[in-house]
Amino acid sequence: MDRASQIVLREWPPMKTPFADPHYREPPDRKSMHGRIVRDLGMRIVSGELQPGDRLPLEASLCADYDVSRPVLREATRVLVAKGLVMSRQRAGATVRPRSDWHLLDPDVLYWLIQSKPQGEFVETLLTVRRIFEPAAAALAAQVADDAALAGIAHAYDAMEAATTPEALLEPDLAFHRRIAEATGNDLLAYIGNMLSLALRESIKLSSRHPDTHALSLPRHKAILTALQHRDPLGARQATLVQLDETGGDLSAVLDELDPVSRGRGSAGPDIG
């Protein structure tokens, strides 16, 4: 997560999300048993298999299951403590913390959350956050962004316009939204926008299954860009709200097409990687 501190507002990095890749929903390749233990226990916690207040399995049991030493297991536990998932006390073992204590913008925790939620629930959770964050960020950017920041947003839009496939559209779309947050000149907002790119990647990949995704996406983003260039905070806010509402409709249509029967019953749905 320290990479967020390296954000440079006026330089345009390659259109790449730092903690995600095109196969984001595939389990990451962990080379060490330490990493595997962190991943497995993290998934068990985030998915609800281990509830807040539950103790992690006994050290002896986990050491036997993974064929590791106690120091390796304890190092994995320290990672979970750092992510806010568990608290560890001497002689009392490690206990799952309340969800409100979890570091949900931690790349691993967010990854596990996406993996564990049904698609419809994940989409609605993300859209709720985006409706709170993105319109306000766009309005602020319209007020304070300098010319270089606006040029960076326009550059991302031009790359969206030039894209000929949904796959080619993904990275510039992510960059467009990330650069609006950076254009606010507020490091914390830029950090939040950067971290939301992890989840936004999944949402864009899902909405790209809509047959008219390119034709629908461009005018919505163009309206936001135009308002920003005109230094129109209210227009930028409204254009962003419209974009999010219409994106929500696109996602609902895609989810209905993928799994019309079980959407309302908590089905995890098909993989969208």
CA-closest candidate to residue 196, choices 81, 117, 113: 113
pLDDT (mean) for 204-228: 90
In sequence order, which residues have a C-beta less than 8 Å from that of residue 132 and are 6 or more positions away? none
The three-state secondary structure class of 42 is: helix
pLDDT (mean) for 262-269: 40
Residues 156/181, Cβ–Cβ less than 8 Å: no
d(CA 187, CA 149): 14
CA-closest candidate to residue 265, choices 106, 120, 103, 147: 120
Query: Is 265 a residue whose pLDDT tops 50?
Result: no
State residue 260's pLDDT score.
56
State residue 25's pLDDT score.
46
- Return mean pLDDT, the chain: 84
Which two three-digit tokens encode residue 118?
């049904």
d(CA 224, CA 233): 10
CA atoms within 13 A on the CB side of 117: 16
d(CA 152, CA 177): 11
d(CA 183, CA 240): 15
User: pLDDT of 8-52, one tens digit each?
Assistant: 334 444 444 434 444 444 444 444 788 999 999 999 999 999 999
Query: Is 62 a residue whose pLDDT tops 60?
Result: yes
Report how many helices (DSSP H) and strands (DSSP E) the chain contains, helices first.
Answer: 10, 2
pLDDT band at 96 (very low <50, low <70, confident <90, very high): very high
pTM of this structure? 0.74
d(CA 62, CA 68): 8
Cα of 3 vs its chain's centroid, Å: 15
Instruction: Name the helix (H) or strand (E) containing 221.
Output: helix 213-229
User: pLDDT of 117-126, one tens digit each?
Assistant: 888 888 899 9
In sequence order, which residues have a C-beta less than 8 Å from that of residue 110 and are 6 or more positions away? 104, 195, 198, 199
State residue 118's pLDDT score.
87
Proportion of the chain above pLDDT 70, given as a percent: 83
